[in-house]
A and B are shown apart, each in its own frame.
Chain A
Amino acid sequence: MKRYDKDLTLLRELSLLFGPSGCEGEVADTIERALPSLCDSYTRDRMGNLIALIRTGDPEKKQRRKVMISAHMDEVGVMVSELCEDGLLRFDTVGGIDVSVLEGRKITLEGACGKISGVIASKAIHHKERKDRNKPTPMAKLFIDIGARDRAEAEGYVSVGSFGTFDSEFYRFGKDGAFVKGKALDDRMGCAAMISVMSSLMGDRPKADLDLYFCFTVREEIGLSGAKVVAQRIAPELAIVLESTAVADLPDTEDAKRVAELGAGGALSVMDRSTIYDRDFLAFARWIAEEQAIPVQLKKYVSGGNDAGSIHKSGVGVRTLALSVPTRYLHSPACVASVSDYHSVTRLVEAMLRSMTPVLP
């Protein structure tokens, strides 16, 4: 089977884009530019979600199966909350970022004159009491330094409400470049996988009569809100959510707490904090994976949540599946995933879509 985004050009481009929740414009613009050749028609809705449709089989057929495939475009980030007299900025997090990964980081902020760089400043270790050195520095004692000498200079570049993201390199590492490191792999890997699948389906359309809605959603990181309205409008019968999942696979983690394993394929969820997944759909996914020898694993520990939480309860209810790329250090500037898992997810989604028939499995 063809290997999509083999050299990770697509994932690299998407990872480096600026797209904190509520500020997904740059990611949406970039994907939208590619959409004309990736689908039959598309819309950008008033919330900023991109909805792209591929119709397969006989377009005259009335009985069609509606499937929603979704990945979110947003990433965790920061927002400026106060411009201090000395030119430093106070800030808040957008989405769940653990305070321990903030101190000392490079940040990209968006403001009146475009993007600027900043660094999260704090008290140096020399001024910290010994007992505080093992504790994350609390938000109240962290500031973004953009280099402004005073408030007036800072006001020329940013304002209260300016959004920011981590500024972090994207690179492959490990033996034979088997792993990838970058910011926002959650969920640009899902977005990249969808684009690869769309490109392949457009080149060789499935025969079955399907309406495939590929949805690039907004604001997942602050509470699953973009996918909710999209699912209501499309009212699909089936939904596949492409995500990243935390893994908890460090050497000192006890087996019972491990969520998934890097390199063992995409992770299918049975249950997480927001959803109990459809059993038949899950069985179908596992059967296709086995049939086509695509590596897949089950998420072993109930944790996290994703757009499935709002999709499966929308309208009259949607049979929903979540397929995730296991990702270490989620919501940090240095997320790590396995390149082969990312490719497995892409392959499995395509294989499932190619095996769907207009009647229920």
Chain B
Amino acid sequence: MNNSYESLAQEIVALSSVMSVSGYEARGMDEICRLLGKGFDRVETDAVGNCFLWKYCGRDGAPKILVDTHFDEIGMLVREILTDGFVRLVPIGGLSPSVLQAADVILYGKEAIRGVIVSTPPHLRSADENRLPDCEELLVDTGYPKEELEALLPIGSPVGFAPVYRELLSGRLAGKSFDNKACAAIAAHAISSVPKEKLAGDVVLMLSSYEETSRLGGASAGAFSCTPDYAMVIDVNLATVPDVPKVETVPLGGGLSISVSAATDLNLTRAVQALCKARGIAHTMIAAASSTGTNATSIQLVDGGIPTVDIGLPLRNMHTYNEVIDLSDAEALCSLVEAFVCDREIADRFCGREELPR
């Protein structure tokens, strides 16, 4: 692997391995502080599970810049303890039964135990049986007696995919929860590496909660409490696969994506596009007419309106345990975040609020 990618890849893998199934983001907080804390001045959390990493520019009255990356991941919860070591699960976030058969999972009860989601072998499947069980009917095989499971795994315990990562060709990585912890790791890397005097304002990286279950969840409350002047929302974006029209996807390896949308700030979007052009950062423009399908929708409607730009990292196999990203895209995103938090022109333009008429 290219050397310049290596440390970024390691940081992405380390952060993606932290269990943070929606609603359980707080369980990973110590690990987040250990991994990201040293690059920031202050770490705090709020009532709905958001985590804020602040880096101050050291000037009084400086603008506040929000970079949002949701930190929760899709997963499952323990729904029912059955006999012979089987546990029934319920999904958290959009999970397709077709990618869950025979998956390796970890059940985070009083201790973390391993399990395998059941599947039917071809020997026992009848030819006309082309339907998979609903996600709500999925069973996981744990190998513990029922009584012990009842003690070990309270109902509602989170269940996540086992973190196993592989390097593919062309500097691509495969593994779990790059949606959206790859973006969180990249943003943290970028902000940490900028010397504070270069910052255009005080920067807060918000690791927002439960995006996968409710887009109006963590991020809007978080944006309300940190009152930024303007914001960049970074989330993964569906990458090209043969079975989907090209226009609905972004190319993997083509750089980051910038959404043009009626639901985000057009001026900020154009300013960021110009920044990419000026710095030679690879990017694709996408038309996300009425909605970006990300936290941008909710953040920009908070606290009198926050100018928001929506940025995407192309990712294939979204919501599986083998999401694929391209590290050249990661590097492009990293360059943009660095440039964005240092850009004084953007800061001057989007800082401050109009007074209400009195």
Contact = CB atoms under 8 A, between A and B. Distances in A.
Nearest to A100: B101
B133 to A, nearest CB: 8
A161 interface: no
Given A101-B102, A124-B317, A148-B170, A133 B97 contact: yes
Interface residues of B, number: 67
Query: Which secondary structure dominates chain A's binding surface?
Result: loop
B84 interface: yes
B164 A336 contact: no
A137 interface: yes
A18 B73 CA distance: 32
Contact of A136 (B95, B98, B317, B320): B98
Interface residues of A, number: 65
Contact of B168 (A104, A122, A145): A145
A328 interface: yes
Nearest to B99: A104
B84 A119 contact: no
A244 to B, nearest CB: 10
Contact of A98 (B83, B119, B148, B322): B119
Nearest to B179: A124
Contacts of A148: 169-170
B123 A303 contact: yes
Contacts of B242: 84, 86, 88, 141, 143
Contact of A147 (B85, B113, B145, B170): B170
Given A175-B144, A332-B102, A336-B116, A86 B122 contact: no
10 contacts: A98-B119, A125-B319, A127-B248, A147-B324, A169-B104, A179-B141, A246-B123, A330-B121, A331-B122, A336-B116
Interface in B79-97: 82-86, 94-97
B241 interface: yes
A230 B37 CA distance: 63
A174 B85 CA distance: 8
A236 B144 CA distance: 43
Contact of B244 (A100, A123, A330): A123
Interface string A324-337: 00001111111010
Contacts of B238: 124, 126-127
Interface of A: 84, 86, 88, 96-98, 100-101, 103-106, 116-128, 133-137, 141, 143, 145-149, 153, 157, 167-169, 171, 173-175, 178-179, 181, 246, 248-251, 259, 303-304, 328-334, 336
A124 B162 contact: no
B170 A122 contact: no
A334 B102 contact: yes
Contact of A145 (B117, B142, B244, B324): B324
B131 A135 contact: yes
Q: List 8 tightest A-B contacts by C-beta distance, closest first.
A: A174-B143, A147-B168, A147-B169, A104-B320, A147-B172, A332-B102, A104-B99, A330-B121
A128 B85 CA distance: 33
Contacts of B133: 134
B116 A97 contact: no
A49 B167 CA distance: 34
Interface string B158-170: 0000101011111
A334 B119 contact: yes
A311 B96 CA distance: 42
A88 to B, nearest CB: 6
A329 B168 contact: no
Q: Which of B84, B116, B134, B143 has the most CB of A within 10 A?
A: B143
Given A125-B319, A146-B168, A251 B82 contact: yes
Q: Which of A124, A153, A249 has the most CB of B within 10 A?
A: A124
Q: Which of A148, A153, A328, A332 has the most CB of B within 10 A?
A: A332
B243 A173 contact: no
B124 interface: yes
B316 interface: yes
Contacts of B302: none
A100 B119 contact: yes
B168 A119 contact: yes
Contacts of B215: none
Nearest to A123: B243
B351 interface: no
B143 A103 contact: no
A313 to B, nearest CB: 21
B57 interface: no
Nearest to B120: A98
A104 B121 contact: no
B118 interface: yes
Contacts of B82: 251
Given A96-B123, A128-B96, A173 B115 contact: yes
A105 to B, nearest CB: 7
Contacts of B118: 250, 328-329
Nearest to A333: B102
A218 B223 CA distance: 62
Contacts of A168: 104
B282 interface: no
Contact of B143 (A128, A169, A175): A175
Contacts of A128: 96
Contact of B103 (A116, A167, A249, A334): A334
Contact of A104 (B86, B141, B317): B317
A33 to B, nearest CB: 28
Contacts of A143: 241-242
Nearest to A90: B242
Given A98-B119, A104-B317, A119-B317, A329 B102 contact: yes
A86 B240 CA distance: 10
A116 to B, nearest CB: 7
Interface in B29-87: 82-86
Contacts of A248: 124
Contacts of B124: 246, 248, 259, 303
A186 B283 CA distance: 47
B339 interface: no
Given A246-B123, A336-B116, A134 B168 contact: no
Given A141-B242, A148-B170, A181-B104, 9 more contacts: A106-B164, A134-B131, A136-B101, A141-B243, A171-B114, A175-B144, A251-B82, A328-B141, A331-B121
B130 A135 contact: yes
B318 interface: yes
A97 B169 CA distance: 26
A357 to B, nearest CB: 36
Contact of B170 (A117, A153, A249, A334): A153
